[in-house]
Amino acid sequence: MCHFTQRSSALSFPKICNIFWRFHHTSTSHLCSCSKTVSDEKYRDPFQLGRKDLKNLYEDIKKELLVSTAELKEMCDYYFDGKGKAFRPMIVVLMARACNIHHNNSREVQASQRSVAIIAEMIHTASLVHDDVIDDANSRRGKMTVNQIWGERKAVLAGDFILSAASVALARIGNATIISVLTQVIEDLVRGEFLQLGSKENENERFAHYLEKTFKKTASLIANSCKAVSILGCPDPKVHEIAYQYGKNVGIAFQLIDDVLDFTSCADHLGKPTAADLKLGLATGPVLFACRQFPEMNAMIMRRFSKPGDVERARKYVLQSDGVQQTTYLAQRYCHEATREISKLRPSPEREALIQLTEMVLVRDK
């Protein structure tokens, strides 16, 4: 389970569920130990701790997007309004500090490390713009999507422009290793989108396919951004692997909870329509777990919920099953692994904040 995305193809779907049943019923106290770690005097609120390094984040991103065309500027600025969670930059700057402290007890974030946080947010936002075009989405973060306001063609170009500006900022860091690490993210985003467009007939392959897609579309950005700042701050390859594994596990957990919220949260609170994945024909974790209790869902999954009434029936089956609960348990396991990895670094407020972030991932409601 430690390297779940790499080993998942070797695990049968029933084994996955059995592992999780045993984990939930035998390891709950071990999971909860994280709370004890972060509730003592070393505890720091992650968003308070990272605020100094993220000050003027969106203003700095807008400086990277200097354009002469008023309409393109307006489109690029649309999502960089300072109202986002800045979850990814937060993780990146906290990881940078934690690795710097581990290496030479320096609490300062290097300019190049902060640039990685900016680049990560730019790549993430460009991917959202493109995703909304592919999905023909109407709303994002509680407001209309770029493609609904300006049209699909201009939205694609805006996403491309943000990505190109991120590439220029990446080149400016002047480190070939960092360029290689972060361009892997862009490759993974594309491959992940292709995985999402496909499907598997075999039940066991389907879950491995889902986890691989989840890693490439969501977790790769966090994992490789964390790895990049660790490389810039510390020469030890073991630390680079710790940073990568933390980001990978947190990223997968984040998306698993996102998939849960698609069934449990209201649209107004979530900022986008609920059951959106089903409407797009996507079988996420809650659906795949529910399918074990309701095998009739297999046919719906294979036809991508395209028949009238499929979406409503599938949603009903998921809510009647333990699919939401099992997916949440799976997210807990990934967060537990992230905590285990980051705990290998020297103790610091930043390390404890990264542990606290794993708990925040699990309890978020939007």
Distance CA 128, CA 134 (A): 10
217, 192 Cβ separation under 8 angstroms: yes
At 95, list the tokens: 């990881």
Q: From first to last of its 366 residues, what are the pLDDT tens digits of the chain? A: 334 433 333 334 444 444 443 433 333 333 333 333 434 434 568 888 888 899 999 999 999 998 778 888 899 888 888 777 799 999 999 999 999 999 999 989 999 999 999 999 999 999 999 999 999 999 887 889 999 999 999 999 999 999 999 999 999 999 999 999 999 999 999 999 999 988 777 777 999 999 999 999 999 999 999 999 999 999 999 999 999 999 999 999 999 999 999 999 875 565 566 788 999 999 999 999 999 999 999 999 999 999 999 999 999 999 999 999 999 999 999 999 999 999 999 999 999 999 999 999 999 987
pLDDT of 176-196, one tens digit each? 999 999 999 999 999 999 999
Mapped onto helix, strand or coil, the DSSP state of residue 86 is coil
User: In sequence order, what are the residues at sequence separation of 6 or more whose Cβ sits closer than 8 angstroms to the Cβ of residue 290?
Assistant: 297, 314, 317, 318, 320, 321, 322, 323
Q: Amino acid letter at 67?
A: V
Domains of the chain: 46-363 (1.10.600.10)
Specify the pLDDT at position 49.
86
Specify the pLDDT at position 359.
95
Distance CA 239, CA 229 (A): 10
At 14, list the tokens: 């029933």
Closest CA relative to residue 286, chosen from 317, 332, 313, 311: 317
Specify the pLDDT at position 251.
98
At 13, list the tokens: 């779907």
Q: Residue 68 burial (CB < 10 Å; 0-12/13-18/19+)?
A: exposed
Specify the pLDDT at position 267.
56
Q: How many CB atoms lie within 10 A of CB 47?
A: 17
Specify the pLDDT at position 141.
75
Specify the pLDDT at position 46.
86
